[in-house]
A and B are shown apart, each in its own frame.
Chain A
Amino acid sequence: MVCPEWNQVNKNDYRGIWVYVEHFNGKISEGSLQLIGKAKELASKLGVDVAAIMLGKDLDKLLMEPIYYGADKVIYANDDRLSIYLPHIYAASVVELANKYKPEIILFAATKRGRELAPYVANTLRSGITADCTALDVDPKTRDLDQVRPTYGGNILAHIRTPTRRPQLASVRPNVFPTPPRDESKKGELVEEKLSKLPEPRGRYLGSKSITEEDESGLPPVEKSDIVVVAGKGVNGVEGVKLLTDLAKLLNGTIGGTKKVTDAGWLPTSRQIGQTGRTIRPALYIGMGVSGAIQHVFGMNESKIIVAVNSDPNAPIFNYVDYGIVGDYKQVAEALLELLRERKKQ
């Protein structure tokens, strides 16, 4: 018997792929745009359209953006009750729209807000959800979404499916997939929806305050740079981080750190790279004193060229490198600084 609290689902009623497009302060989250690119690829295998879902108030200026990035249409609700983001109200809105349109797949960017929203949507639809997928594919026969995620510490990849329920929901961290090109000549349909069944707010938003963590480097965020120098536990303190920050500056790159380094307070948490931090895909990753814990590797695996310096020849990081140097990171960093300064003079 099926749990009586699950509604009846006829899988054939469900068609199309949705991307929940998150926006805040008039800006669409990059992670949502990246999912539109992936959704298009999956949609072509299933022969369906991609719809972007947008909620809020005064959305007009943003509505065409998902289409410029490849969505076929935008389904949106402009509603006073959505002027402020309350998690359960936004989640209930997505549920109401999903019950009406019956998409077979809904994708969420696993931002902090996305990770909050998606499981409520999935659960209220009595369907499955997979968090932080690192790869997505579809089986054209069963139309099942193959949701791949690292699990149990990351040594194992699990392929998760939701064979009997629809829609199938998944979240993906920002920067796991590349951002598709923006093309203002693209056309698409805008569909306005009125929401009827929103729950009571039961709460009020009181306000917000930006907290800028102390960040002495003055360098760009780790997701925004083509070259990222990463400090690991082996750098042994703020002095080491400072040396690597100088190196990052000379390379026109930026500085990041492993969890150990940000936990120790040698760098702000916004510079943490890995499973519980940021995901990066720069042209060049340089790990210094980084041991290569799998949780860190998940945040940098997609880098084009990976370089590591570590004094331990058996450090796991060397399994992931294009170029590795077995040696003292400090000596190598100092030598690199010298060489780069000479190059600049020439």
Chain B
Amino acid sequence: MDELTIVVPVKAAVPNITAVRLDPNTHNLVREGVPLMINPYDRNAVELALRIKDRFGGKVITISMAPPNGKDFLESTIGMGVDEGILITDRVFAGADTLATSHAIAKSIAKLYPNFSLIIMGEETTDSTTAHMPAQVASWLEIPFVYYATDAEPNIKDGTVKITRYLEDEGLLEEFIYNMPIIMSVYRNSNPPRDISLNRKIMAKVNGLVKVLTNKELGLNPDCVGLKGSPTIVAKIEDAKPLPRKKQIFQGDPKEGAKWLLENLVKEGVIR
């Protein structure tokens, strides 16, 4: 291995997920015409990639499948220090579930950067919160994967990478050494992202550092992407209704309120 090639797939998240429009037929989120931002946790992934580049050299590429207005947030990643961005945009990719999305991302990376060393991704997205993508991309590419990385130290000479990861629910820090290439996701509370340099972002725009590719250039099988390549369907959506509750509300003197509450809790048998 001569040089590290680090690919960071990022997602255009919808900033205000409580005020979105859903497609009445597919029940999918309508992303067209909605202002997009980078999924916040993906910035931690970009940060880890840049820290690796700062220490060990190489090239960092961000890649995203998004509507055409996704170009701007890819330029922002270049503002952070990324070398180039790839925007994959085509109607044929629309309506994809996580399997079809991961297909498009994985096959595009394999085609554009066949010699990639690392793929680094955010822990999950804040609008869908599935955390599926890193494992699914790994499955298409048939390479190992590790979630929740806090640090990674590649060794360009022998082609290995030492990965530290944190399992939050077990309070456990684990260490692995893997041969590259490998995919990792980045623990969301690690690698706080650096600022975006406006100059660099403008430079990205002026020099066209974000390439926009449609499926004409990528040549992916239309049966494997978008709605057609998605095994899951959203059969039905409904408003999340609160469970029935007593909803007794006290307004007035706090001391009286505390007394009222305690009496009720004793009556309920939850306080003895």
Contacts and interface: CB of A to CB of B under 8 A. Distances in A.
A191 interface: no
A213 B172 CA distance: 10
Contacts of A124: 139
A115 B129 CA distance: 11
B144 A88 contact: yes
Is the contact region of chain A dominated by helix, strand, or loop, or is it mixed?
A: mixed
Interface stretch (A13-21, A47-55, A238-246, A304-312): A304-312
A120 interface: yes
A111 B239 CA distance: 26
A188 interface: no
Interface in B65-117: 97-99, 102-103
Contacts of A99: none
B168 A112 contact: yes
B271 A284 contact: yes
Contact of A157 (B17, B175, B240, B248): B240
A76 interface: no
B173 A157 contact: no
Interface stretch (A36-44, A63-71, A179-187, A330-338): A330-338
Contacts of B258: 325, 332, 335-336, 338-339
Interface in A199-223: 199, 202-213
Nearest to A144: B235
B236 A159 contact: yes
Nearest to A205: B176
A152 B176 contact: no
A83 interface: no
Contacts of A270: 168, 171
A157 B243 contact: no
A86 interface: yes
Contacts of B128: 151-152
Contact of B178 (A24, A119, A203): A203
Interface residues of B, number: 88
B254 A324 contact: no
Nearest to A91: B135
B103 to A, nearest CB: 8
A74 to B, nearest CB: 23
B245 A206 contact: no
A207 B175 contact: yes
Interface in B196-233: 221, 223-224, 228-233
A203 B148 contact: no
A211 B170 CA distance: 9
Contacts of B132: 119, 122-123, 129, 131
A321 B245 contact: yes
Q: How large is the interface on A (under 10, 10 to 19, 20 to 34, 35 or more residues)?
A: 35 or more
A25 to B, nearest CB: 9
Contact of A123 (B131, B139, B221): B139
Interface stretch (B4-12, B43-51, B52-60, B260-268): B260-268
Contacts of A340: 262
B102 to A, nearest CB: 7
Contacts of A62: none
A146 B166 CA distance: 32
A104 interface: no
Given A128-B99, A323-B250, A156 B129 contact: no
B225 to A, nearest CB: 8
Q: Which of B99, B134, B145 has the most CB of A within 10 A?
A: B99
Interface of B: 17-18, 20, 22, 27, 29, 97-99, 102-103, 127-136, 138-140, 142-148, 162, 166-179, 182, 188-189, 221, 223-224, 228-240, 242-243, 245-252, 254-255, 257-262, 264-265, 268, 270-271
- Give 5 closest A-B pairs by Cβ, nearest first: A335-B258, A203-B178, A153-B17, A128-B232, A331-B254
20 contacts: A88-B138, A88-B145, A111-B169, A112-B147, A116-B131, A127-B99, A129-B99, A156-B239, A157-B237, A158-B234, A159-B237, A161-B233, A226-B270, A270-B171, A305-B265, A320-B245, A322-B268, A323-B248, A323-B264, A325-B258
